[in-house]
Amino acid sequence: MSAAIRQLEPKELWNYFADLNAVPRASKKEEQVIAFMMTFGESLGLQTIKDEIGNVIIKKPASSGMEDRQTVVMQSHLDMVHQKNNDTVFDFATEGIKMIINGDWVEAEGTTLGADNGLGVATIMAILASKDIEHPPIEALFTIDEETGMTGALGLKGGLLSGTIMLNLDTEDDRELTIGCAGGVDVTAKGDYELMDIIEGFESYKICVKGLSGGHSGMDIHKGKGNANKLMNRLLYTCSKDFDLRIVSIDGGGLRNAIPRESNAIVYLKKDQLDSVKERIEYLSTQIQDEHQTTDPELQIELTQTEASGKVLYPLFQNNLMRAIYSCPNGIYRMSPDIDGLVQTSNNLARVLVEDGKYEILCLTRSSVDSEKEDLANAIHSTFNMLGAKVNNGGSYPGWTPKPEAPIIKMMSTLYEELFNESPHVNACHAGLECGIIGTNYPNMDMISYGPNITGAHSPDERTQISSVQKYWKYTKEVLKRVPKV
């Protein structure tokens, strides 16, 4: 279907997006897309640089008559979230994204689309390759590993860029101009546990929680979507209170920045309690599905017999583990008291892996207030420390403090009203954008983030609106025309 995508308007943007989507680009595995971008910049005869961490910078002089304008950094990240449905056969390491057109939307066949942040990358590529678009001096910054640690932005050194304005093309609502964002920290709890043999009189079963809608753990955290890890723990904990349930393994969730959609547990159940356990799980499933019918209408909970073999957790550790997961904060922790509707602090219980005597629990804690981010991380530390886990913080990055009076923000707000006859939503967001990190080494750079409509980012439901991309392209070209003079 890439041929049909290439016929969409604006063709220059969609063609570069199709080219990009043919290149595997998982976070921390960006070698192919880095080489792709280096070849692209060099093919245009433009100064093309790869820095020490792997970011790519391409510099293009101003178009004729625009030499007296401020230099603009146009920035997007090269990596994408690799997620697919359980029943989708697809190898992200070797296959290009299979895109389809569905009415006014472009989506993928059972996988993430890569619109986050591929559309931003494709936009910048189209500007760099153009011969008739008016623009100031441009420094295109393509960062790596935004989705799993922001190591590209963290490793970007001062002095490589001279721009005084940065356009970050990484938000997902074409009515919004974002001027601030949350910071984040990865919280990881790990530990070992002893195993015991299962005694006679038990049968092995698999419990599966699936069909949740998932989504971005920052942008979608306020929507009340179900968390597969929390729901699985609720099932296990509730059943183990009244029945002899022994856990072999738990495998739930995946990436820190994606609300977990699926979880699987292998358990042993006592034979003489099977009917009662099945009734309890059926009852709990109905409750949970009713609670989530608006946010997760496709939610399914299944109990199936399996031929699993393996040792189980000791009852005391099993009970403590389930209590710790139950106690771990998840979702909104605090709303902003200053900005209406903005989530200030949250946590995503992203990954629970328990198997073969080892366990690992991954969280992503976000806040636009660094002290509150640390406070919530401390709460998570305390929860899992009581289990005996070794808990560490990693990948911490700062928030981005808004500058609402910056000239570029005022100009872009006015321009939006002029072009579209309505006022944009100038706001901060709860996602982790790279602006705050880049600003630590470039404190005098005024920044703003915007983009076309994208829904379902970080999940196989990701899609982008064709008419919105056209609107965003028109706006971007006009913004570049009106960049203030030096």
Active-site amino acid positions? 79, 146
Residue 104 CA to residue 8 CA, distance in Å, equals 11
Q: Which residues contact 486 (CB under 8 A, 6 or more apart)?
A: 68, 69, 70
Max Cα distance, the chain (Å): 84
Torsion angle defined by CA atoms of residues 171, 172, 174 and 179, in that order, rounded to the nearest 10 degrees: -30
83 closest CA partner among 453, 462, 452? 462
273-279: long-range contacts, CB 8 A cutoff, minimum separation 24: 273/243, 273/244, 274/203, 276/242, 276/243, 277/239, 277/243, 277/245, 277/303, 278/303
